[in-house]
Amino acid sequence: MADVRLEIGGHDYHISCRDGDESNLIALGAQVNERVQRAKSVVRNATVAEQLVMAAILLADELQENRSGGAAPDMLAPELAEVVAARMEVLADKLENLARHA
């Protein structure tokens, strides 16, 4: 296993991956960091968790657009949006805990 250091939103994260997957993980981390920076520029005093949630939503929106072959719907169904937001919060909390203990 390889260990890769990713800087996302000004925080370092050490992520393990299979040997040979390092460059792909670094590229993915750069994409996430780009979305976090975009989120920070929109909401300047967002917490790290909120920045990560916004970045994840931006990435999910891009993925949905690519899968549908066109523009994504303007709004998610409210129920789905609530579920996505709740899961993103849990993931963001886990990432913050990892960052604190790294």
Per-residue pLDDT of the chain (102 residues; tens, 9 = 90+): 999 999 999 999 999 999 999 999 999 999 999 989 988 887 778 888 888 888 888 888 888 887 877 654 555 556 556 666 666 777 777 777 777 776
Q: How many domains, the chain?
A: 1
**Neighbour-count burial of 36, counting CB atoms closer than 10 A to its CB (0-12 exposed, 13-18 middle, 19+ buried):** buried
Pairwise CA distance, residues 49 & 42, whole Å: 15
What confidence score (pLDDT) does residue 60 get? Answer: 87
Q: What tokens does 2 get?
A: 């390889």
pTM of the shown model: 0.63
Which residues span the domain enclosing 88? 2-101
Question: Which position has the token pair 């909390």?
Answer: 93
Cβ atoms of 36 and 48 within 8 Å: the answer is no
What confidence score (pLDDT) does residue 25 get? Answer: 93
Pairwise CA distance, residues 47 & 55, whole Å: 12
Residue 76, C-beta contacts closer than 8 angstroms, at least 6 positions apart = 84
What confidence score (pLDDT) does residue 28 get? Answer: 92
Pairwise CA distance, residues 38 & 101, whole Å: 26
- The one-letter amino acid code at 24 reads N
What confidence score (pLDDT) does residue 99 get? Answer: 73
What confidence score (pLDDT) does residue 49 get? Answer: 87
What confidence score (pLDDT) does residue 48 get? Answer: 87
